[in-house]
Amino acid sequence: MTIWRSTMKYAVHVTLVLLAVWLIAAYAIPERYKSESPARWLVVTHPVSLAYGISTGCAGDIRFEIASDFGYRGRGAAERRARAGRCLFVTRFLPATNRAQRISNGIERGWLFFAEGEYARARDQFLQLARLDPLGNSFAFNAQDEAWVAAMQAAERLGGAEAALPIAEEALARYESPAFHDASFRGGGIWLAQFADITEQTEFSINAMRIMVAHIMISAGEPDRASEVLERARHPEWPQRDRSGWSQMQLNLLDYRLAKQRGDASAANAALDSVVAWYRDGQSAMSHPVWGQSMSWRELWSELDDAGRCDDIAELIQLSRAQGEAWPADPSASAMHRYLGARDGCVYASLLGQTSLADEICAARDEAWVTLLQDESFEFRWALPDELSPRPEPLACFAAGAGVQVGDEL
């Protein structure tokens, strides 16, 4: 009996020691070894790792509800933000077992700050994460791209392009550093460098950062510095895979913005021709998700309006309508499709100065919106805006007395 008790006591002690080693090892192992077996399994199965995974996934699901839309907007957004805050509460008091966990969880926390309008906290949060992972060593959901870009966006909300410029310059210096070019320096080591698609994505990220920084420099009134960055983006040191032509369109857009800022109307129009051609070819639908840097339809129409290119606006508005929900919708269409079609049609008719048609479509939009709000069975009712946006003013091309005629039909 004594031997049995001694054995059990010894077994308990060994188990406690092994458990302590397991719990401590996740923190004691150097970061560069945590992605390799068996250390990886120690980290993955750690209770804190599981807590971080649940916390991050919970907040991420709320943020990306319904077709990856930004779940912190729309009807009931405050309640969803509160839910996300509860998801992230526990991890506030638990030290992450590895850098990837800290970054991915921190990204969710940063977006929650952003959604709450706490742009200073969001900027600081994203900038801290970006500096923690300057070369993308963690590869946490492409986190180094997201953190740098989000930090710039939050800074712009606070103080415009001038406030974002220092962060943009710091990001560009990191992206253009020699270490960033070498995939073998990243967390996956030589194994990762063997995969061309990862390497090409890294190269695309470097040039995409140049493009974004050049945009910020132009907005901040630094055209000469933007030109230097633009030349490096125009002649990258590697082949770049970009089947949609997004990069070239962005270069053309930067050429347009620079020429416009310098008063070179001829060069600006030539560059704008290329941007319009890209949209006309239907490439925009597959390229808008790239860091949000593709010019939106509304922004393009505004630029064309400034340039007096009214026929191009009318053509592209028709093209945008063809890619979206149709109005009037088929009588058998769902209330959601009727709402979406009328919402977009209200914008189009208003911008084109079609007052009577805009009255009709905007009234249909208002009616469809109220119908959806009253339908308790509509599962995506939460995605509707709390208030409808007022109709936009007509573009200068189509304002009363502008002398430009457009058809009454969308």
Beta carbons within 10 angstroms of residue 380's beta carbon: 14
Cβ atoms within 10 Å of 261's Cβ, excluding its own: 15
Residue 172 backbone dihedrals phi, psi, to 5 degrees: -65, -40
pLDDT in tens, 69-96: 567 887 888 888 999 999 999 888 888 7
CA–CA distances in Å: residue 25 to residues 28, 41, 103, 146, 172:
5, 11, 20, 30, 36
- Nearest Cα to 262, choosing from 304, 222, 213, 299? 222
User: At residue 101, does pLDDT exceed 80?
Assistant: yes
Average pLDDT of the chain, as a whole number: 78
Tokens representing 224? 């000469």
The structure tokens listed for 110 are 């940063």
Tally DSSP H helices, then E strands, for the chain.
19, 0
Backbone angles phi, psi at 30, to 5 degrees: -55, 145
Q: What residues contact 395, with CB distance under 8 A and at least 6 apart? A: 301, 302, 305, 310, 313, 351, 352, 353
Which residue is associated with the tokens 């925009």?
284
Cα–Cα distance list, 8 to 11, 16, 340, 348, 380 (Å): 5, 12, 69, 78, 57
Least confident of 26-35, 127-136, 401-410: 401-410
201-211 residue pLDDT tens: 667 778 888 98
What pLDDT shows up at residue 409?
Answer: 53
Q: Give the model confidence (pLDDT) of 19-45 as tens digits.
A: 555 556 555 566 555 565 665 556 666
- Asked if the model's pLDDT at residue 185 lies above 50, the reply is no
Closest to 317 in 3D by CA, of 288, 296, 331, 294: 296
pLDDT number for residue 384: 83
Q: What is the mean pLDDT of residues 268-289?
A: 77
pLDDT tier at 237, thresholds 50, 70, 90: low
pLDDT at 308 over 50: yes
Q: Which residues contact 380 (CB under 8 A, 6 or more apart)?
A: 66, 336
The reported pLDDT for the residue numbered 52 is: 81
What's the confidence (pLDDT) of residue 141?
36
Q: What is the mean pLDDT of residues 150-156?
A: 93
Q: Which residue has the higher pLDDT, 133 or 199?
A: 133
Q: Which of 409, 215, 237 is nearest to 326 (CA)?
A: 409
Query: pLDDT: is 46 or 11 the higher one?
Result: 46
Distances 196 to 40, 193, 202, 240, 241 between C-alpha atoms, Å: 24, 7, 10, 12, 11
Under the banding of pLDDT at 50, 70 and 90, the label for residue 143 is very low
Per-residue pLDDT band at 196 (split at 50, 70, 90): very low
Q: Are 397 and 310 in contact (CB under 8 A)?
A: yes
Burial 278-297 (b: 16+ CB within 10 A, else e): bbeeebbeebeebbebbbeb
